[in-house]
Amino acid sequence: MRKKTLLLSVVIVVLLGQFCTGRRRMSPIFLEKTAKHRVIAIVPFEMIFTGKQPKKLTVDQAREIEEAESLAFQDSLYRLLCLEQGRCRYPVRIDIQPIVKTNRILEEQGIPIRDSWHIEPVELARILKVDAVVGTRVEKRRYMSGLASFGLEVGATILNALADEFPLGILVPTATKRIRANCFLYNGKDGFTLWARNVEDYADWSLSANDIIDGINFHFARRFPYR
């Protein structure tokens, strides 16, 4: 009986490994570097599209979708980390700057969403007046169209273009479902990487954008430091 149970456990672990892999790395001097940290900021996610561009989608429309996705991922991680702050066991013990404030400051400084992806962490921390910055890069092969639940509208024309590319009833090949995401926590003083986690997952595109995005960020939030 024990052998059967052990075998079943091994099979389950192997199957789970086929759908999601992740590695995390925390600096051995994390506590030393973060001893005086009080506030961190989550900046808009960098979105990288590696798939085939939908024929009816213009360059400007593609940029609009990517920026909407960037804000949706940012909102999701902020919300999940706030939930981690309220956990009874091992809560996240750091203040997180509201993303509304973060994005407002960036806008006031004349920094568009896309430009924020390429600014050095030290400079972002200075602008946002925080002790550390969370930066994330997401690479995927398909655009998302259901971002309304995040309060983001990308326009009816764009949604129609995406709908034409992936009509209902047609299965999307498995290869297009893969999402890779890399999350980094950078020290505001020197840009030192305090913590990092890499996730490779297979998104079920029949789910809502909310579920797909939360599914990726869940891995980051549950392993986030400052506990």
User: Exposed, middle or buried: residue 171 (CB in 10 Å: 0-12, 13-18, 19+)?
Assistant: exposed
pLDDT of the residue at 155: 64
pLDDT of the residue at 10: 37
Inside any domain, residue 183: yes
- Which pLDDT tens digits describe the chain residue by residue (227 residues)? 444 444 433 333 333 333 455 566 899 999 999 999 999 999 999 999 988 888 888 888 888 889 999 999 999 999 999 999 999 899 999 999 999 999 999 999 999 999 999 999 999 999 999 999 999 999 998 887 666 666 666 665 666 666 655 544 444 444 446 889 999 999 999 999 999 999 987 777 777 788 889 999 999 999 999 99
How many structural domains is the chain composed of? 1
Q: Phi-psi category of 110—alpha, beta or left, where left has phi over 0 and alpha has psi -120 to 50?
A: left
Contact 61, 145 (CB under 8 A): no
Boundaries of domain holding 104: 20-222
Length of the chain, in residues = 227
pLDDT of the residue at 161: 62
Strand boundaries in 53-177, DSSP class E: 95-96, 132-140
pLDDT of the residue at 130: 98
Inside any domain, residue 198: yes
Inside any domain, residue 142: yes
Q: Cα separation of 121 and 126, whole Å?
A: 9
Which two structure tokens, joined as six digits, stand for 63?
Answer: 């940029």
User: What global pTM score does this model have?
Assistant: 0.81
Inside any domain, residue 6: no
Inside any domain, residue 227: no
User: What CATH number does residue 139 fall under?
Assistant: 3.40.50.10610
Inside any domain, residue 203: yes
Where b means 16+ CB within 10 Å and e means fewer, 198-213 reads bbbbebebeeebbebb
Inside any domain, residue 13: no
pLDDT of the residue at 177: 63
8-state DSSP, 117: T
Q: Cα separation of 164 and 108, whole Å?
A: 37
Amino acid present at 111:
I
